[in-house]
Structure 1
Amino acid sequence: MNHSAERSVSTYLTGFVLAIVLTAIPFGIVWGGLLTGMAVYAIIAVAAILQVLVHLVFFLHLDLKSTPAENLFFLGFAAVLIVIMVGGSLWIMFDLHHRMM
């Protein structure tokens, strides 16, 4: 096996281990009932964002040095769209919840 193949396998294994850990942490906190309320949601959100970054870096090999600027621009645009969709959905759900109470 050549050096680039070893590097690729080790990169994928590192990403896989990090993804497992970032999945296990929120799962363990929720399952064990260690935290309640908004703290749980914050930990889940932070772990989700970190997991997205792990997937982008270790599996898609996106970084700021070797990735063309166009790809980073489109990735940023997609992130903005996702934030608008998730934020709008949460806004609508909280508003409906408030109106129903």
Structure 2
Amino acid sequence: MVLSRSDLRTAFAESRTTRRATALFLFADSIVLHDADGRVEALRQEARAWLPRRLKAADPDLGQHLLDGQLALAGHADPTPLTTSVMRVLNLTGGPLREGYVDR
């Protein structure tokens, strides 16, 4: 993905407006090939920080639990906190879908 700083600022603004952050997700985890002055890395860090803030803004308690779960999985290979948080999210919408699922 090749983006200018103005393209990234536009993507940030659009993500706030549409409440979708596809470009930010891609950019936050991308590999930078050239960044002579460090500005690209600063924008990547901003993209990474914006995504957790979005979760917390939607639901502070649940957002924090999801983030803590992700850190526990990434840092300690412990899936339990993330699994518990995901189940909380699924239970808000009727629980996990099991009926009708066929593993082929």
Tell me the TM-score normalized by structure 1: 0.30
Relative contact order (alpha carbons < 8 A, sep ≥ 6): 1 or 2 greater? 1
Bigger fraction of residues in helix: 1
